[in-house]
Structure formats: structure tokens, C-alpha cells
Amino acid sequence: MKTLRLFPVFVLVALFMSGLTARAKVPPLLDVPDYLPGDVKKDLTAQRSDLEKQIASLRKQTADFNAKCGNRTLAEDDPLAKDCLDEKALLDHAGQDYTRAALSFDDRVSKATASADARNIPADLPPDLENTIAATFHDSPPEVAERVRNGFQAFTNGDLKTAKASFVDALSHDHENVYSNALLPK
């Protein structure tokens, strides 16, 4: 008689499979900046709230699954084994759906932020700073340097929220760049 070893499911950080263990990578949701136009901000805030409810539900379902199926050795013909495998497949699918929705949300926030930044922030930085940004981010996608410029312009205007949002947005487009990482406080 074959036996199945069931392990708990943990909601952690990227979706991958390991035997009967599924671990979901939960991408962080970007904050919705206060300076976005009213209708855009309202829509993104509602979507973020829905995603927060969705992940809370997934965490509860995961805890329930762990209580029912976690760390058990069951015979292959045990009805609970089939139930646990089916439930795990549903949780894995729900985790993938959430991850896609969260990434799509973050992309919408980034685009809305970039659009609002482009409308609201003039690009009149000192030439030395312009040259430094151009040299530092020459291998990065063009939108990264633009977002860094917007961040520095907002910073020089005293708008720290916009500056941080611009730097976070730059980092989301070029997360491997050590200079992008250095712009944000740890």
C-alpha cells in the first residue's frame, strides 16, 4: 500500500511546487499615492482593498488546510488524501490568481504614478545631477532614469511622498540596479 506524506501549505513568497507542499510568493502591493487624480486614486484604493481581503482569505484557507492535512502520512486510498490533494490544487490555483492580480495592480499603480509625475513635476534639475543620472542609469530602461529624475525633482521641491513613490517606481522597473536600491532608506 502506497502512502502519501502531506506537508503544510505556507503563504510566503513565489508560487512553486515541492511534493505536496505549495508555497505562494505574495508580491507586496504598492501603496496608492495621495496625489493621484480622484477617480484613479479611488479605483486603485478599492482594488487594493479587494486584494488585501483576497490574501487574508487565502491565508485563512491555508491555515485551515494545514490544520486538516498538514504533516500527515496517509494511505493513497484514504479519502482524506484525495480531499487534501484536491484542496491543495485549489489553493495553488487561487495563489496563482492572486499573484497575477497583485502584479497587475502594481503595474497599474506604477503607470498611474508615472503619468501623474509626468504632468506635475518639471524636469529642471541642475546639470551635474542630470549628467550623474544619465551616466548612472545609462544601461537601465529609459523609464527608470525618468522616474529617478522625477524623484529628485520632487525631493528638491520638498515633496517627499512623491519622491519616494518615484524612486520605488524606478526600482520596480530595474530592481537589480544597486543605485536604484540605494535611493530608498532601509
* High-pLDDT (> 90) share of the chain, %: 8
The parent domain of residue 143 ranges over 127-182
pLDDT at 45: 93
**Tally of domains within the chain:** 2
pLDDT tens sequence across 19-29: 344 455 566 78
Average pLDDT value over all residues in the chain: 75
Mean pLDDT of 164-175: 78
- Say whether both 84 and 154 belong to one domain: no
- Say whether both 60 and 112 belong to one domain: yes
| Pairing mode of beta strands 3-6, 21-25 | unpaired
pLDDT at 148: 84
Higher pLDDT, 120 or 143: 143
> Please, are residues 165 and 150 in contact by the beta-carbon 8 Å criterion?
no
pLDDT at 12: 37
pLDDT at 26: 67
Mean pLDDT of 93-121: 79
> Please, are residues 31 and 108 in contact by the beta-carbon 8 Å criterion?
no
Does the predicted TM-score (pTM) go above 0.75? no
- Say whether both 54 and 143 belong to one domain: no
- Say whether both 159 and 135 belong to one domain: yes
User: How confident is residue 160, by pLDDT bands cut at 50, 70 and 90?
Assistant: confident
Mean pLDDT of 172-184: 63
**Domain final residue, candidates 120, 145, 164:** 120
- Say whether both 116 and 164 belong to one domain: no
**Domain final residue, candidates 120, 144, 166:** 120
pLDDT at 51: 94
- Say whether both 27 and 65 belong to one domain: yes
Mean pLDDT of 66-92: 81
Give the 3-state DSSP-derived string for the chain, with helices as H, strands as E and coil as C: CCEEEECCCEEECCCEEECCEEEEECCCCCCCCCCCCHHHHHHHHHHHHHHHHHHHHHHHHHHHHHHHHCCEEEECCCHHHHHHHHHHHHHHHHHHHHHHHHHHHHHHHHHHHHHHHHHHCCCCCCHHHHHHHHHHCCCCCHHHHHHHHHHHHHHHCCCHHHHHHHHHHHHHHCCCCHHHHHCCCC
- Say whether both 154 and 174 belong to one domain: yes
- Say whether both 77 and 111 belong to one domain: yes
pLDDT tens sequence across 34-55: 777 788 889 999 999 999 999 8
